[in-house]
Amino acid sequence: MESRVQHVRTLLRIGADDVCFIGIWGMGGIGKTTIARAVYHQISYAFDGSSFIEDVRENGSDEKGLKSLQKKLLSEILMEEDFKVKNCHDGVSQIRRRLSRKRVLVVLDDVDDIMKLEFLAGSHEWFRHGRRILITTRDEHVLCNAQEHNVPDLLNETEAMKLFSRHAFKADIPPKEYEKLSGVVVSQTGHLPLALKVLGCHFCGRRLNFWQSGLNALAKIPDKKINKALKLSFDGLNILEQKIFLHIACFFKGKKRHYITRILDCLGLEAASGITVLIEKSILTTSNGYLHMHDLIQEMGRCTVRECYSNNLVLCPKEIKEVMTTITVSTILITD
């Protein structure tokens, strides 16, 4: 954690007399909230007031929720109770009026919509110089006005094994008899911190015979907690974006972007814009013109297909025929 926390602290330039808006961006479960919380606890003492607003996606899903978050922000920074906020616009007015002269630290966790951000910390004019706003999000577009974007790296193999072992064995390394199976679990998580924690707790205190059976079960049915956390990103997509994601998860992971775009455009899915959104929302990554996704995100997509589309996969029979025809033609027309 320390190197990742220190990097964010460096970006925030504590003590500089300017307005600083920093974002931590990445896929679900990568550790954005954990990093932001650690930074908050380390530096909040240096400000006139501070507030950590948790889970803006869920807690600010409607006007009532946004009003509650505005009241929480005011209450924590001013250390007062019983704020009355008539509506979200009144909340904006109060934040601007009451906090404009203060040097504050605000952390907004899991922001999924620019409008929510504008109601909570929308303008540089709201606060005096020296303020620091730190945002965690799965959606890069939310950070279009941020000075810096920090994308946490996945854990390396040593870090991943240590995190898993702390949750599974309450130690930094696994016991000798569990080393091989622990290596299999860590490999299956793709070094994603959330998955390492969840599976570490799942296997904690279990005997060796349970481990082998448990790994076989997880290969068939992914852990519900991990799948639920990753599926939040899928649920926030529109229907075209969801279809694009499911097609790529089932058929096209690791293929060239222009190749996938042309095939999916033939199905009327407007893939050029859809793929851009999937990249912004940390669902897809791109490297040298190829599209990739984390193995657990791909498995979440396949799980969604099994649950929602049964034996039809992602497509109805007519669409399967259209895709296979398109692939055949595209193989001839496109140099991969």
- 208 lies in a domain? yes
Largest CA distance in the chain: 69
pLDDT at 310: 59
Amino acid at position 98, single letter: R
Identify whether residues 142 and 77 lie together within a single domain: yes
Q: Which class for 34: exposed (0-12), middle (13-18), buried (19 or more C-beta within 10 A)?
A: middle
Identify whether residues 20 and 92 lie together within a single domain: yes
Identify whether residues 12 and 142 lie together within a single domain: yes
Do 82 and 138 contact (CB within 8 A), yes or no?
no
Do 243 and 280 contact (CB within 8 A), yes or no?
no
The mean pLDDT of 41-58, rounded to a whole number, is 94
How high does pLDDT run on average in the chain?
Answer: 88
Tokens of 310: 């049964």
**Whole-number percent of the chain with pLDDT over 70:** 90
Residue 262 domain boundaries: 233-333
- Cα R_g (the chain), whole angstroms: 23
Identify whether residues 143 and 169 lie together within a single domain: no
pLDDT at 314: 46
Number of H helices, E strands in the chain: 16, 7
Number of domains in the chain: 3
Helical axes 271-280 vs 257-265, angle rounded to 10° = 130
Report CA dihedral (90, 92, 94, 96) to the nearest 10 degrees: -150
* 3 state SS of 313: coil
Write down which residue in 99, 134, 150 finishes a domain. 150
C-alpha to C-alpha distance for 13 and 211, rounded to whole angstroms:
46
C-alpha to C-alpha distance for 154 and 234, rounded to whole angstroms:
21
- Alpha-carbon distances, residue 313 vs 93, 158, 310 (angstroms): 50, 37, 6
Quick: pLDDT tens for 217-239.
Answer: 888 888 899 999 999 999 999 99
Residue 334 pLDDT > 80: no
Residue 327 pLDDT > 80: no
C-alpha to C-alpha distance for 41 and 77, rounded to whole angstroms:
14
Identify whether residues 123 and 164 lie together within a single domain: no
Write down which residue in 175, 197, 220 finishes a domain. 220
Identify whether residues 39 and 99 lie together within a single domain: yes
- 226 lies in a domain? no
**Whole-number percent of the chain with pLDDT over 90:** 70
CATH number at residue 80: 3.40.50.300
Question: How many CB atoms within 10 Å of residue 167?
Answer: 16
Identify whether residues 143 and 162 lie together within a single domain: no
Identify whether residues 209 and 276 lie together within a single domain: no
C-alpha to C-alpha distance for 148 and 58, rounded to whole angstroms:
25
Amino acid at position 99, single letter: L
Identify whether residues 247 and 278 lie together within a single domain: yes
Do 256 and 336 contact (CB within 8 A), yes or no?
yes
